Amino acid sequence: MEYETVIGLETHVQLKTKSKMWCGCANEFGAPPNTNVCPVCLGMPGVLPVANEEGLRLTTLTGYLLNCSVPRFAKFDRKNYFYPDAPKNYQITQYDKPSTVSGYVDFEFNGGISRVRITRAHLEEDVGKNFHFDRNSGVDFNRAGVPLLEIVSEPDITSADMAYEYLNALKDILIYGGVSDCDMEKGMVRCDVNVSVRPVGQKELGAKIEIKNMNSFSGVRKALEYEIPRQIAVVSKGGKLSQETRRWDDVAGITETMRTKEQAHDYRYFPEPDLMPFEPTEAWLEDVSKRVVELPLARKQRFMSAYQLPASDAQTFVWDVPLGTYFEQAVTGAKNPKAVANWVINNLRAKLAETQTALADTKVKPSSIPELVALVDSGKISGKIAQDVFAEMFATGEAPAKIVEAKGLAQVSDTGAIEKLCDEAIAANSKTVEDYKSGKVAALNSLKGQVMKLSKGKANPALVGEILEKKLKS
């Protein structure tokens, strides 16, 4: 019998705010333990949470980026459970009225575009971090109260690889939108995986197994690569799986039972009485929507279709947004977008790196790039001369036509002038001329080089070849 896999992901992402969600402490990674703390995020007696408005904005912005709808009424709830890293022993989260619902993420997978639907993205708070020493344990509360977005997908994912690509696409979108830095090393993204298997054609879902607290995308893929065959093996031998929570042991490369359904927590959610419901106004939403950016995939597709760029060039402009923006300014009205892209990617970017210059500080005007391309394409200058012109553009910011004019770099296509130079070269290299005449065809190149040298590189190389051949054969 054939089996299919059903996967849904709950992804927790730290939001990129200056301060924590309910207090003024810095949202900052790497500070010494318990230095970014105050009575509020330590859950001292008598304190109250006050919502960080930027946290609310980034939540709504994420909703827009993930094509979600944004309800006009959202609220916060308390999720009750005891754990040493939880300062209040409840977590402030959004239970039945989240800030954003019903969206989707499109991403490239298996040579096509796949879509995973998003159930909801809701705001909650991070907890502290437990440390275990030889004889005792400690908790660092620097992370407690950092705004966290939980992005819940529909069970639309069908393989470990698809889960991996979805997570990467999600990460790109969030970094792109300025919502999160998604730095995995700093624990900014964490994942719970829900996975089940069923015979192909069966409508009911199999027993839902949750793998908790994954902190890398490759870990998610590895855990699924282990877990899916494990489940299929059990079911195909007539065994029965039951709902449970498992943990991934990265060293052993296996998943193991953490708690069964009977041991599941009753979180006793109820509305957080210390916070008012969140009811955004149209003006507020309008403000947030101004921060929506073009998504990576859409940008790539647009660069490919609007400018006929190859996928690799388009991808470069997706990863390097300012460079892409520069390209778009440069390419306006250009006849040869691919050549403009080549100059921007191969020359401008390289030169910026070489001189450690920021793109914003470059003297090269975007309009100069298509000018340069046009000079080459029209035969006004050679590709080699163009390199020198570009170096001058980069140094001075001067327009290419002016440089060519000022330095007399225009290609010489005047037949009379070139014939004169050819005669000089032939006269000065009688040995080479002999070689050519005795059948060494390569000797022509040497003569050509001599002519180019005499013209200081400005002679039209095609014309030089033509005239030399004519003269030597006559």
Partner 1 sequence: MLNQLTISELTAKVARKEVSAREVMQSCLDQIGRIDGQIHAFLSYDAADALAQADALDKVVAGGAAANRPLLGAPIGIKDVLAVKGQPLNCASKILGKFVSPYDATVIQRLKAAGAIVFGRLNMDEFAMGSSTENSAFGVTRNPWDTSRIPGGSSGGSAAAVAADECLAALGTDTGGSIRQPAALCGCVGLKPTYGRVSRYGLVAFASSLDQIGPFTKDVRDAAMLLEVLSGVDHADSTSVPQPVPHYAAGLTGEIKGLKIGLPKEYMVGGLDPEVNQAVQNAVKQLQQLGAEVIEISLPHTDYAVATYYIVATAEASANLARFDGIRYGARVEGSDPISLYGNTRGAGFGAEVKRRIILGTYVLSSGYYDAYYLRAQKVRTLIRQDFLKAFEKVDVIVTPTSPTAAFKIGEKSDDPLQMYLSDIFTISCNLAGICGVSLPCGFTANPKLPIGLQVLGKPFGEETLLKVAHAYEQSTRWHKEKPIGKLTRR
Identified binder of partner 1 from the candidate list 186, 268, 363, 470, rule CB under 8 A? 268
Q: Where are the alpha helices (DSSP H) in 92-159?
A: none
Closer to partner 1 by Cβ: residue 2 or 266: 266
Q: Is residue 122 a contact residue for partner 1 (CB under 8 A)?
A: no
Q: Is residue 89 a contact residue for partner 1 (CB under 8 A)?
A: yes
Least Cβ distance, residue 51 to partner 1 (angstroms): 7
Q: Is residue 48 a contact residue for partner 1 (CB under 8 A)?
A: yes
Closest CA to 88 of 39, 52, 131: 39
Least Cβ distance, residue 134 to partner 1 (angstroms): 17
Identified binder of partner 1 from the candidate list 11, 56, 64, 90, rule CB under 8 A? 90
Q: Is residue 46 a contact residue for partner 1 (CB under 8 A)?
A: yes
Rounded Cα distance between 175 and 182, Å, is: 7
Q: Is residue 133 a contact residue for partner 1 (CB under 8 A)?
A: no
Q: Is residue 258 a contact residue for partner 1 (CB under 8 A)?
A: no
Q: Where are the alpha helices (DSSP H) in 278-398?
A: 282-289, 296-307, 311-319, 321-331, 337-342, 349-355, 368-377, 383-396
CB of 199 closer than 8 Å to CB of 1: yes
Q: Is residue 280 a contact residue for partner 1 (CB under 8 A)?
A: no
Closer to partner 1 by Cβ: residue 22 or 107: 22
Closer to partner 1 by Cβ: residue 23 or 426: 23
CB of 67 closer than 8 Å to CB of 177: no
Q: Is residue 55 a contact residue for partner 1 (CB under 8 A)?
A: no
Closest CA to 318 of 348, 294, 342, 339: 294
Q: Where are the alpha helices (DSSP H) in 320-382?
A: 321-331, 337-342, 349-355, 368-377
Q: Is residue 49 a contact residue for partner 1 (CB under 8 A)?
A: yes
CB of 314 closer than 8 Å to CB of 327: no
Q: Which stretch binds partner 1 (CB under 8 A): 47-55, 246-254, 320-328, 381-389?
A: 47-55
Closer to partner 1 by Cβ: residue 22 or 303: 22
Q: Which residues pair with 106 in a beta bridge?
A: 115
Q: How many residues bind partner 1 (CB under 8 A)?
A: 30
Q: Is residue 279 a contact residue for partner 1 (CB under 8 A)?
A: no
Least Cβ distance, residue 271 to partner 1 (angstroms): 8
Closer to partner 1 by Cβ: residue 84 or 253: 84
The single residue listed with the structure tokens 């070139």 is 418
Q: Is residue 306 a contact residue for partner 1 (CB under 8 A)?
A: no
What does the radius of gyration of the chain's CA atoms come to, in whole angstroms?
32
Least Cβ distance, residue 142 to partner 1 (angstroms): 14
Q: Which residues pair with 157 in a beta bridge?
A: 7
CB of 85 closer than 8 Å to CB of 139: yes
Q: Is residue 42 a contact residue for partner 1 (CB under 8 A)?
A: yes
CB of 66 closer than 8 Å to CB of 104: yes
Identified binder of partner 1 from the candidate list 238, 273, 416, 439, rule CB under 8 A? 273
Least Cβ distance, residue 325 to partner 1 (angstroms): 39
CB of 379 closer than 8 Å to CB of 350: no
Q: Is residue 47 a contact residue for partner 1 (CB under 8 A)?
A: yes
Closest CA to 120 of 76, 93, 150: 150
CB of 184 closer than 8 Å to CB of 218: no
Residue numbers at the binding site for partner 1 (CB under 8 A)? 39, 42-51, 78, 80, 82-84, 87-90, 139, 141, 266, 268-270, 273-276
